[in-house]
Amino acid sequence: MNVGSWNSDSIGMLFSSVGNRNSVTNTNSLYSMTSLLSDYSSIKSGAYGKLIKAYYAKQAEDDSSTSTGKTTDKTSTSTSTAEDSTKVLSSVQTAAKALYDTSEALREETRSADNMDELYESVSTYVADYNKTIDAAGSSNTDTIKSNLKDMIFATSTNSKLLSNIGITVGEDDKLILDEEKFKAASLSSAKTLFTGAGSYVYDVALEVAMMNSNAEYQASKANTYSTDGSYSNNFTIGDMFDSLF
């Protein structure tokens, strides 16, 4: 018997597959394909994206409620475990990097200097950057950054007598004060002792601000975690500040 283009043999083969074990596999494959198409449809329509956004918005809300005891504005854009704001951390990084670069430049210039006049501008920049670092790091609530600042100030305090001999004194606010006339009249050998060589005063300061920068970068990585749209916002960069110290 023929039905259109089908004959009795082909019709029999079609229905015989209903009881065949292979038909179960075919059915499972069809189901899997349907499931995949359904997932693809959800992704394409944005359902997954909406779910992620809702999840992180809820996480931010829960974190705020836990830390403050009350629900805060739901427009928060990110979760953070940092002890400082990104603004404070950025200020610390900028100041620490500037002082590090100034310290390295001063070390190099002192090695080849023939007189104190040649060093005055570099030392003046160093003093200004040192004082800016005190201001920036002094605003931080991060223990490691505060520890770096304390060690930097201690290094200066330990060398305060030698610094005073070349016209650099320490104020009550721990900031440096440079006397141009006294500095230019001072001994170049005293400056070389303070500013050159491993273990020198400026070496110790450079080491502390390198660590300070690294600690600020780490805190910045915690301040820029997952945002409420499910994306990762990490704006810090690991540098090689320590390399030139050795």
Hey, what amino acid is at 147?
Answer: S
Residue 229 and residue 246: Cα distance in Å, rounded? 44
pLDDT given at position 37: 54
Residue 37 and residue 112: Cα distance in Å, rounded? 72
Write out the chain's pLDDT in tens, 246 residues. Answer: 444 444 545 444 444 444 444 444 444 444 444 455 555 555 555 555 565 566 556 655 655 554 455 444 444 445 667 889 999 999 999 999 999 999 999 999 999 999 999 999 999 999 999 999 999 999 999 999 999 999 999 999 999 999 999 999 999 999 999 999 999 999 999 999 999 999 999 999 999 999 999 999 999 988 765 444 444 444 444 445 555 555
Per-residue CA distances from 85 to 103, 106, 119, 141, 239 (Å)? 27, 32, 37, 9, 21
Residue 213 and residue 95: Cα distance in Å, rounded? 9
Residues pairing with 3 in the sheet? 6
Hey, what amino acid is at 165?
Answer: N
Residue 209 and residue 35: Cα distance in Å, rounded? 56
- pTM for this entry: 0.62
Q: For tokens 């030698």, name the residue.
A: 162
Say whether 169 sits in a helix, a strand or coil.
strand
